[in-house]
Amino acid sequence: MEKGKFRFRLTGILVAMLMVSNVLSPGIRVSDAATENPSSGDPVISKLKPEQAEGRGYQLVYTVNAPLKATWDFKTDFASQILLTNKFINSHRLVSRGQDVVVTETVYYNKPGMTFKWQTTLFPEQHLLKFVLLNAEECGQKFHHGYIQLEAVDAGTRVTQVAYFDFFGVSFWVNYPFSGGMSHFLKYTANWEQQAVLKKSGKLGSE
């Protein structure tokens, strides 16, 4: 009986581990390579491996139902207070802005004692933004960088965001399928931005 109980418990633990590694939140798809074009409201998340030996990454692709210019204006308005309507952001401020380089500071709800200092380089002609976390070590990370590419499509604007990062517990965060994991965070962020762009451009509620 004791052996049977032990095997049953061990099986339950293994099943739980597999669920954490592979099961995804409802409505979110995570794959090893992006092979689909998302429709509006349906973000596609792909797991990536960085060039470094360690760390993880992702590619997030979604469509905003707004013109390319409106989406670009939203993404490059680094002083906008609408960012505070994102439930994951406690505070945000523009530190400095040169011709094409911007530095911002953001405090996230799950890291209230840390200020993340981001540097974003703008490439307006390509509708491309490259970002890097300047104080990664202070924020408990080894590195965090990536880019955001905007493209005009029939439905509006396709947004492709790619990021690479490494920190303690990164594998758990990337694979955790519930609230607090990477998939939940990215899905919420994409859906929030789809609405926020429309609100800022005045399109939301006007139709």
Tens of pLDDT, residues 49-82: 887 678 999 999 999 999 999 999 999 999 999 9
37 DSSP assignment: P
Delineate the domains of the chain, giving CATH numbers in brackets. 26-201 (3.30.530.20)
Angle at 181 between CA 152 and CA 163, to 5 degrees: 45
Tens of pLDDT, residues 78-130: 999 999 999 999 999 999 999 999 999 999 998 999 999 999 999 999 999 99
pTM of the predicted structure, to 2 decimals: 0.80
The two three-digit tokens of residue 25, written as one number: 């939140």
